[in-house]
Chain A
Amino acid sequence: GAVVSQHPSRVICKSGTSVKIECRSLDFQATTMFWYRQFPKKSLMLMATSNEGSKATYEQGVEKDKFLINHASLTLSTLTVTSAHPEDSSFYICGFKRGPGGSGNTIYFGEGSWLTVV
């Protein structure tokens, strides 16, 4: 159980364009979803948190107009990087927290997405 699917696993886009990353929980409902960014050989940096039906809460320093997060349902969250620039190139990973009563605040992660902006 607790399978989270994220795609695309790798994407290359041109500078100035937008790219969407999708994250789905396949076998459970998620009340809270997280988006992280990871730089090479570094830890995961929380970008934003979203609850179903509510707007995402962004961490300090993360531009909400640039990184659009849509928590569409209890099983789907998307991250859209708008007007991408080369400095947005990174590894992005989503995480889902199960609904009430499930797994003690455990977050299950997708496979991650490599974004390269050229």
Chain B
Amino acid sequence: AQTVTQSQPEMSVQEAETVTLSCTYDTSESDYYLFWYKQPPSRQMILVIRQEAYKQQNATENRFSVNFQKAAKSFSLKISDSQLGDAAMYFCAYNGVTGSRLTFGEGTQLTVNP
């Protein structure tokens, strides 16, 4: 079974600074998808960024980018120019190629200090 590990239960960053959230995963599959979701206090799960494992190029979405290291099974999220609205719980997630199961990490609570 696939597992996803987020080793940082809490992180904090100063507004306008950069922060990196860590994620590692374990799988025997060669093709899969990785995601970062954001869960603000409203509790809705919002997709931040997606990475296909077969793509070597790291995904980017505006201020959000990932460092995908397939051999190391690492998938970190970098948030640049942090904003107060970035404060939320961030979940790393894995889905296999069949898309039949999205497995989440335990989450990292991000605080943005003004």
Interface residues of chain A, those whose CB is within 8 Å of chain B, are: 32, 34, 38, 42-44, 46, 49, 91, 93, 95, 97, 103-112
Residue of B nearest to A51 (CB): B100
Contact partner, A104, options B33, B104, B105, Cβ 8 Å: B33
| CB neighbours of B107 from chain A (8 A) | 42-43
CB-based contact B99/A97 at 8 Å: yes
Contact of A105 with B43 at beta-carbon distance under 8 Å, contacts A32-B100, A46-B101, A46-B102 already known: no
Task: Indicate if B25 sits at the interface (CB-CB under 8 A).
Answer: no
The stretch among B16-24, B44-52, B69-77 that forms the contact with chain A is B44-52
Task: Indicate if B95 sits at the interface (CB-CB under 8 A).
Answer: yes
The 10 closest A-B pairs by CB, nearest first: A105-B99, A109-B45, A105-B95, A43-B104, A111-B44, A112-B43, A105-B33, A43-B106, A44-B104, A107-B102
Query: How far is A32 from B101 in the complex, measured between Cα atoms in Å?
Result: 10
Contact of A112 with B44 at beta-carbon distance under 8 Å, contacts A44-B91, A105-B95, A106-B33 already known: yes
Task: Indicate if B42 sits at the interface (CB-CB under 8 A).
Answer: yes
Task: Indicate if B84 sits at the interface (CB-CB under 8 A).
Answer: no
**What distance in Å separates the Cβ of B73 from its nearest Cβ neighbour in chain A?**
18
Residue of B nearest to A34 (CB): B102
CB-based contact B91/A106 at 8 Å: no
CB-based contact A95/B102 at 8 Å: yes
Tell me the B5-64 residues at the A interface (CB within 8 Å): 33, 35, 37, 42-47, 50, 52
Contact partner, B95, options A38, A43, A107, A112, Cβ 8 Å: A107
Residue of B nearest to A38 (CB): B43
With most chain B CB atoms within 10 A of its CB, the pick from A42, A105, A107 is A105
| CB neighbours of A43 from chain B (8 A) | 91, 104-107
| CB neighbours of A112 from chain B (8 A) | 43-45
